[in-house]
Amino acid sequence: MTFTTTVHLRAEKAVTVSMLVDTGATFTVIPSRLARAIGLKRRRPVSVRPADGRRVRLVADVAVVRIDGREAPATVLIGKVEDLILGVETLEAQGLIVDPRRKRLSPSWPYAVRLGGYR
């Protein structure tokens, strides 16, 4: 299931973009030019296997992602890609699930973080 949604990405700078919600994608993926535009710098190389089975080398970093007023850090894979893909790991961190009938995101739990022992 795929559809698009508006996402606010932030590192040193912030942008609002339209991303493809892909329930078959684990991680969020963005092109290198967007990573540079928001100031992602601490990149770590990773080897991933997309659905077609080949091995692809990308780099990973962390950005703050805001969707529908919910905000959390997310792993972002960066490389020579065309589409901006919003993966399931990012949706889970936001407490969002895909409503396939309406092709939109819906809350799966109240957005709250429990910080055990935090004062």
Residue 65 is predicted with a pLDDT of 97
Residue 52 is predicted with a pLDDT of 84
Whether residue 77 contacts residue 48, with contact meaning beta carbons closer than 8 Å, is answered with yes
Instruction: State the average pLDDT over residues 81-97.
Output: 93
* CATH fit for domain 2-107, picks 2.60.40.290, 2.60.40.10, 2.40.50.140, 2.40.70.10: 2.40.70.10
Residue 112 is predicted with a pLDDT of 53
- What residue spans define the domains of the chain? 2-107
Alpha helices in the chain (DSSP H): 32-38, 88-94
Residue located via tokens 């339209």: 18
User: With 60 as the cut, is the pLDDT of residue 90 above it?
Assistant: yes
pLDDT in tens, 35-82: 999 999 878 999 988 878 899 999 999 999 999 999 999 999 999 988
Alpha helices in 10-109 (DSSP H): 32-38, 88-94
HSE toward the beta carbon, residue 53, CA cutoff 13 A = 0
